[in-house]
Chain A
Amino acid sequence: MNMHAQPQRTLAETALIDAFGERLSQLPGDGAVMVKRDDAIEAIKHGLPTRRVESWHYTDLRRLLTNVPAFEADAVAKALAPVLEGSAVLPVLNGVSQTKLPEIDGVTVQRLSEKLTDGSVAPGLDTYGDDDAIGALNTAFVADGYFVDIADATELEKPIELQNLQAGGQSHVRLLARVGAGAKAVIVERQTGEGDEALISSVSQLVVGDGAQVTWLIVQEQPDTATHLAQFKAHIGKDGKLTLFVMNAGGKLVRQEVVVRTTGEGADFKLRGINLLAGDTHTDTTMVLDHAVPHTTSTEVIRNVVTGKARGVFQGRINVHQYAQKTNAKMACNTLLLSDDGEFSTKPELEIFADDVVCGHGATVTEIDHNHLFYLMARGIDEKSARGLLVKAFVAEVIEELDDEALVEALEERLDGWFSTHG
C-alpha cells in the first residue's frame, strides 16, 4: 500500500529504456520531436501502469508485459491483398513506410518519417494524460507511418487501406489522416503480422472536418505471439460524422484505445466493435469519448465472444462537458462468455456535467440463451451448429448495421475465417 517506495524496474521496463538509448541515433526528428521523445521516455522511466492506475485497472501492463523483443532490421513482411476489394493500399512493413505509392485523386500522402524529420508533426506527439502509456511508448520510438490528407469536398471512390504489418521484433507506427470539410472517405486500418514475438505500438490520429463523413475500420488480426498496443484518436468537427468499426481477432496482449472528441455542433460518432477472444490471451478495448460542445450525438455498441482462457476488457467512459447541452449518448456492451476459464470485465462510465442530456449505458454478460438453443435444436440442427449460428448472429448483428454491402460482406468473411479456426 505504501506508494512512496519506487518499485524496482521490471525486465520489460529496463529493456525499453535500454532500447531507447540504442535506437535514439537512428530515430528521425528535429529538435522539437526529440524533446517530445525525451519527455515520453521519462514517463516510461516512472514505470509502466499497474492496476492501481484507474484506466489500467484490468490491464496491469507492468505485470503483463513480460518480454520486449529486440528490433529486427531484416525481418520480412509483405503487403497483403486489401480487406475491401479495389482499395488503395498504403503498407507499413516492419515499421517502415514505402516510397512507391498509388496515386489517389484529391489525396496527398506523405511518409511520416519525413514529417518527423521536418518537425511538422511534433505538436501531435503529446500524450493526453499521465496514464497515456501507449502514447508515451509510441512517441518515444515512433519512426514511420503515413500522413494522409484528403482535400475538402473530395469523395473517395475507392477505400484507402493502411496496412501495418510485421514479422516479429518491434515496430512503432503512427498513421495520421485529415479528412477535409465535406469530404467522404472509407479508411481501413489493418493490423496484422506473422512469425516471432513482436511488440507493436500504433497510434492513429484522425481529424474529421466540418460536414465530412468518415468510416474507419480497424481490423486487428495479430498472431498470438504479438503484443499490440494501439490508440485511435479523433476530433470530429461541425456536422461531421465518424463511424469507427473495431474488430479484434488476434494478438497475445492487446489494448486498443479509442479517444474521441466532438469539437463542432452536430458532430456524430458511432463506435461498433467486435472482440473475438480465444486462447490464453488478453484483449482490452478502452474508449474515452468527450462530448465537448452542445448538440452532439454518439452511440457505441460492443459485442464480445470469449472462449478458451481468454480475458477480455471493455472500458468506456463518456464525458459530457458542462456546456455540452443536448448531448445524446448511448453505449452498450454485450458479452457471451462461452468457457469457464474465460473472463470478461467491463466498466462503462458516465461523467456528466450538463443537465439537458440523455445518456445511458447498458452492459450484459451471459451465456447462450437456452431457449434460443432449444428453438434451433428442435428444428433438427445439432447442438454444435446451433451454438455456432447463435454466436455468429450475436456479433454479425453489429456488422450488418454498417449499411454498406461491400463492407458487410468483407467483414463477415473475416468473421467466418475466425470461426472456422476457433469455432
Chain B
Amino acid sequence: MPAVQETIDRVRKIDVDQYKYGFQTEIEMDKAPKGLSEDIIRFISAKKDEPDWMLEWRLGAYRRWLTLEEPTWARVHYPKIDFQDIYYYAAPKSTPGPKSLSDVDPELLKVYEKLGIPLKEQEILAGVQKPAAADGEAEIGDNVYKSGRVAVDAVFDSVSVVTTFKEELAKAGVIFCSISEAIREHPELVKKYLGSVVPTSDNFYATLNSAVFTDGSFVFVPKGVRCPMELSTYFRINEKNTGQFERTLIIAEEGAYVSYLEGCTAPQRDENQLHAAVVELIALDDAEIKYSTVQNWYPGDAEGKGGIYNFVTKRGDCRGDRSKISWTQVETGSAITWKYPSCILRGDDSSGEFYSIAVSNGYQQVDSGTKMIHLGKNTSSRIISKGIAAGFSQNTYRGQVSAHRKATNARNFTNCDSLLIGDQCGAHTVPYMEAKNATAKFEHEATTSKISEDQKFYVMQRGIPEEEAIALIVNGFVKDVIQQLPMEFAVEAQKLIGISLEGSVG
C-alpha cells in the first residue's frame, strides 16, 4: 500500500495542530448587517433576486424558527450561540452571482488555486500540471483532481462564485448550478422538491437554514441519464463572524445516476463560526445517488480555541422503487460536528448506505451517525462507521434503524467500531434499533478498543517503526470506508486521516 507510506511522510512533515487551509484572504466583501430579523431575510432574498414565493417560504421558516429551542440531546458542549452576533450574508463584492470565469476576482481564483481546486476547465482538460502553490500547499488538491474530470461549484462564504463544465453537462441534460440560479431559472423544479425531504419545520438548525440559506448547489439528472462526470462543490468560509448556510438539492429522476463530492475548509481563527447546512437528495425509481463528503473545516487549535460548529442536516429520500442512496463521509475537521446523513427507504426494494470515518483530535467533539428509516417492502441498509478518537476529543456514533409495520423483509447491517488513542479522549456508541415487523432482520455490532499490542508487535517485529506501525493499523481499520470513496478522494481522505492524528500517533 503505497498510500500508507505517503500518509506517514505527510504526517512527519507537518507540525502538531497545523491546519493547512488556515490562511485567510483579503477580499472586499459585501455584507448584510449583523443579526437576524425579517428584514435581513428580505435583504438576502432581494440580493438573490428571488421570486415572492421563495421569500414567503423563508419568512415562514423564520417565524417557525422563533418558536424552536436549540437541541441539547447530542453529546456536545459549547457556549450558547448568539444568533444576533452573526453575519448572515457575506459575498465577494466583485461577484454578485455566478458568472463566467473571466469575470471572477483574480484574488478569489487564487484562493481556490491555493486550495487545489481547479476552476479552469481548459487546464483540467489538457491535464496541465499547475504551478505548485507556495509551500507546496496545493499538492493534495492536485493529486485529487488531475486524474479525472470533475465539475465544480465553488461556494465562497454566502455565494456561489463559479460553476464549471456547465455547458458540457447541459448537453447530457444535467442541470448543475448554484441553488440561487436554480430558483431563478428552474423555479418549477425547486418548488416541487425543495423542503420535500427536510421540511422547514424539521429541526432547529434546518429551520434556521431554510430562513437564511444563501447559496449551495442544485443538481438535476433527468430520466435515464448517467451523469457523465463527478460533480463537486467546494465550500469555503473566509469572512470573519459569518455563518455559512448552504442548501444543496440533488434530484435523480427514474434510472439516473450521479456521484457528488463535497469538500470544505475555513481559515484559522480564534472565534467559533457556525455552519448550518441542509442537503436533500431525492432518488426516483431505479435512480442512484452517491454523496461523498470530505469535511475538513478548521477544527480549532491545540487548546480547543476557535473552529467551526458544523450543525448539518442531510437526508436522502429513496422515493422510487429500487432506488439507492449512498452516503460516504470522512470527518476530520470542525470543532463540533452534529450531523446525521439519513435515508428514508420509501420505495420498495430501495437501499441506503452510510459509510463514515470520523476522526477527532485536540478538543474536537463529534456526534455523528445516521438514520435508516425502512418504510417500503424489501428495503435494505448498511451502516459502516469507524470512529477514531485521540487527544482530548469526544467521538460519538449515534444512529437509528427502524422498520415500520409495512416494511416487510427490511434488512439492516450495522457495524460501528471505535478506536481510542490516548486516555483523555472518549468514544461512545448510541445505536437505536426499532423493529415493528416480524420479517425485519437487523444486525448490529460495535466494538471499542485501543490498537492491540499484538497487532502492533506483529508489525513492528517485521522491522517497521512504531509510528508507521500505528499508521498502518489505523489505515487498515478505516479501509472498509475508504474503499467506498471515489478513487480521487480516497487518496486525499487517507492523507487527511494521517494529518488529523498527528501529535497523537506514536
Contact = CB atoms under 8 A, between A and B. Distances in A.
Tell me, yes or no, whether A binds B.
yes
Contacts of B439: 367
A362 interface: yes
A363 B437 contact: no
Contacts of A322: 423-424
Contacts of B18: none
Interface in A1-39: 1-3
A360 B438 contact: no
A367 B438 contact: yes
Contacts of A361: 429, 444-446
A366 B450 CA distance: 31
A349 B442 CA distance: 16
A419 interface: no
Contacts of B498: none
Contacts of A355: 420-423, 425, 450
Interface string B411-437: 000000010111111111111111111
A343 B448 contact: no
B69 A340 contact: no
Nearest to B451: A355
A338 B213 CA distance: 47
Nearest to A340: B438
Contacts of B423: 322, 325, 354-356
Interface string B391-428: 00000000000000100000000000010111111111
A179 interface: no
B444 A364 contact: yes
B426 A357 contact: no
Contact of A366 (B427, B429, B441): B441
Contacts of B429: 348-350, 361
A356 B450 contact: yes
Given A357-B448, A359-B448, A352 B431 contact: no
26 contacts: A2-B67, A3-B69, A322-B424, A325-B423, A335-B435, A337-B440, A339-B438, A340-B405, A340-B438, A342-B438, A343-B434, A348-B444, A352-B427, A353-B426, A357-B450, A358-B449, A359-B447, A359-B449, A360-B447, A361-B445, A362-B445, A363-B442, A364-B442, A366-B440, A366-B442, A367-B438
A351 interface: yes
A351 B448 CA distance: 10
Interface string B354-396: 0000000000000000000000000000000000000000000
A385 to B, nearest CB: 20
A361 B418 CA distance: 12
B53 interface: no
> For this complex, into which size category does the number of interface residues on chain B fall?
35 or more
Nearest to B421: A355
Given A343-B436, A348-B429, A365-B433, 9 more contacts: A340-B438, A343-B435, A347-B431, A348-B444, A355-B420, A357-B420, A357-B448, A363-B445, A365-B440
B435 A344 contact: yes
B73 interface: yes
Find the residue from A3, A355, A356, A366 having the highest chain B CB count within 10 A.
Answer: A355
A54 interface: yes
Contacts of A1: 67-69
Given A2-B67, A338-B438, A357 B449 contact: yes
Interface in A236-257: none
B440 A362 contact: no
A352 B445 contact: no
A363 B448 contact: no
A88 B429 CA distance: 43
Find the residue from A2, A342, A362 having the highest chain B CB count within 10 A.
Answer: A362
A1 B445 CA distance: 33
A364 B449 CA distance: 22
A346 interface: yes
Given A337-B440, A357-B448, A357-B449, A345 B434 contact: yes
A305 to B, nearest CB: 12
B107 interface: no
Interface string A42-65: 000000000000100100000000
B446 A362 contact: yes
B392 to A, nearest CB: 11
> For this complex, into which size category does the number of interface residues on chain A fall?
35 or more
Given A1-B67, A365-B441, A349 B73 contact: no
Contact of A352 (B418, B437, B438): B418
A2 B440 CA distance: 35
Contacts of A360: 445-448
Interface string A312-328: 00000000001001000
A339 B68 CA distance: 39
Contacts of B434: 343-345
Given A2-B69, A343-B434, A365-B433, A350 B446 contact: yes
A351 B68 CA distance: 29
B103 interface: no
Contacts of A352: 418, 420, 426-428, 448
B49 interface: no
B61 to A, nearest CB: 14
Nearest to A338: B438
A353 B445 CA distance: 20
Contacts of B69: 1-3
* Pairs A-B, 9 closest by C-beta atoms: A355-B420, A360-B447, A363-B444, A343-B436, A365-B435, A365-B442, A350-B429, A345-B434, A359-B448
Contacts of A365: 433, 435, 440-442
A366 B438 CA distance: 7
A348 B431 contact: yes
Contacts of B422: 355
Contacts of B448: 350, 352, 357-360
B444 A347 contact: no
Interface string A357-391: 11111111111000000000000000000000000
Contacts of B446: 348, 350, 360-362
Contacts of B443: 362-364, 366
Given A355-B420, A355-B423, A358-B449, A363 B431 contact: yes
A340 B447 contact: no
Nearest to B423: A355
A337 B67 contact: no
A338 B438 CA distance: 6
A77 to B, nearest CB: 37
A126 B484 CA distance: 51
Contacts of A357: 420, 448-450
A373 B441 CA distance: 16
A337 B426 contact: no
A343 to B, nearest CB: 4
A356 B420 CA distance: 8
A355 B420 CA distance: 5
Contacts of A354: 420, 423
Contacts of B421: 355
A364 B19 CA distance: 41
Contacts of B449: 357-359
Contacts of A3: 69
A12 B405 CA distance: 30
Nearest to B415: A362
A345 B426 CA distance: 26
Nearest to A358: B449
A364 B428 CA distance: 19
Contacts of B445: 360-363
Contacts of A350: 418, 427-429, 446, 448
Nearest to A4: B69
